């Protein structure tokens, strides 16, 4: 296939990434939400429709990290929080703009403080005419650039953005006293390699920079956007594997190999997803798309 054909195919895949997960998640019978304690009043939840979410019980209220994908699933999550504490949710922090992390805001009460990286807010605003728009009546009320130290409800936290990575508006939530990091989809164990949203100006180089920075934090628990709790060793292993794979792909690109030739050299075979599963581009596809945008 020609380079032009590759670009067309990659663009189509980008659209599937942008919209396919939402349709997939909505269509599935979601597992019930389960709450998993970490330490120091910090919890995360799995199940429901959408990403993992976190919450921190503070002195006067609760901070939620990410908002699920549907209003119904968000309300289920809020009901689970209410089983643990009668304190109200006062703040929601968004790790990025993907619908499975923000669209559940429609199920939250109004009047909350909603915090996001400044590019995340822009992406949410720009989604208004998309297939799965973010709820425009629950846009972020506070934005962060690269780093901000905050105390919310007596909880000390640091919000961190290093570079465009999964999206242009990624925001990590670091709790220094509890040594916990909420990573959003910078770490998502549902994928072998990281997923880069080219349509949101993500970057594999930025992803590597971000993960290297996360590993320098005094933390021993990393809550991923999807999947189980990770240790620092788990995150290091994911970084090493991704860097090695990216280096292989970049060498083939430097040799002038096409996408199909590179896949052949790497022993990759495109396989249709299992029934009911979303179609995501391979990491090799993503790197080729990223490099084609740079050239």
| Rounded CA separation 289/14 (Å) | 9
Q: What is the pLDDT of residues 82-114, one digit of tens each?
A: 999 999 999 999 999 999 999 999 999 999 999
For the chain, the helix, strand and coil percentages under 3-state DSSP, each to the nearest 5:
40, 20, 35
pTM here is 0.89
Supply the pLDDT for residue 295: 67
Supply the pLDDT for residue 271: 74
> In sequence order, what are the residues at sequence separation of 6 or more whose Cβ sits closer than 8 angstroms to the Cβ of residue 110?
137, 138
**CATH of residue 251:** 3.60.15.10
Are the CB atoms for 268 and 282 separated by under 8 Å? yes
How many domains does the structure of the chain reveal? 1
Distances (CA, A) of 233 to 25, 187, 265, 290: 30, 13, 30, 28
Supply the pLDDT for residue 14: 42
User: Which residue segment(s) compose the domain that 110 sits in?
Assistant: 3-294
Q: What is the pLDDT of residues 192-235, one digit of tens each?
A: 998 999 999 999 999 999 999 999 999 999 999 999 999 999 99
Supply the pLDDT for residue 88: 97
Supply the pLDDT for residue 23: 42
| Residues of the chain with confidence (pLDDT) below 70 | 1-29, 273-278, 295
Are the CB atoms for 52 and 44 separated by under 8 Å? yes
Q: What is the bridge-based pairing of β-strands 89-93 and 62-65?
A: parallel
Of 159, 166, 64, nearest to 112 by C-alpha is 64
């Amino acid at each position: 296939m020609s380079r032009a054909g590759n670009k067309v195919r990659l663009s189509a895949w980008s659209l599937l990434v942008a919209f396919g997960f939402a349709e997939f998640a909505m269509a599935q019978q979601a597992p019930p939400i389960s709450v998993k304690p970490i330490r120091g009043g910090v919890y995360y939840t799995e199940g429901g429709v959408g990403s993992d979410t976190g919450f921190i019980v503070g002195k006067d209220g609760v901070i939620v990290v990410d908002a699920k994908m549907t209003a119904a699933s968000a309300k289920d999550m809020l009901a689970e929080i209410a089983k643990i504490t009668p304190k109200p949710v006062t703040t929601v922090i968004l790790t990025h703009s993907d619908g499975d992390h923000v669209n559940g805001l429609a199920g939250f009460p109004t009047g909350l403080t909603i915090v996001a990286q400044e590019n995340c807010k822009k992406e949410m605003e720009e989604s208004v005419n998309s297939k799965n728009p973010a709820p425009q009546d629950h846009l972020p009320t506070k934005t962060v650039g690269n780093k901000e130290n905050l105390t919310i409800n007596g909880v000390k936290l640091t919000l961190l953005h290093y570079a465009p990575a999964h999206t242009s508006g990624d925001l990590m939530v670091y709790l220094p006293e509890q040594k916990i990091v909420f990573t959003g989809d910078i770490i998502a164990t549902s994928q072998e390699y990281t997923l880069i949203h080219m349509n949101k100006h993500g970057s594999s180089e930025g992803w590597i920079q971000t993960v290297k920075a996360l590993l320098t934090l005094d933390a021993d628990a990393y809550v991923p956007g999807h999947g189980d709790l990770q240790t620092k060793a788990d995150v290091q292993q994911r970084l090493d594997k991704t860097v090695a794979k990216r280096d292989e792909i970049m060498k083939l690109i430097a040799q002038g190999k096409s996408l199909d030739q590179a896949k052949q050299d790497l022993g990759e075979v495109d396989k249709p997803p299992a029934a009911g599963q979303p179609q995501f581009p391979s990491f090799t596809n993503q790197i080729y798309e990223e490099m084609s945008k740079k050239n």
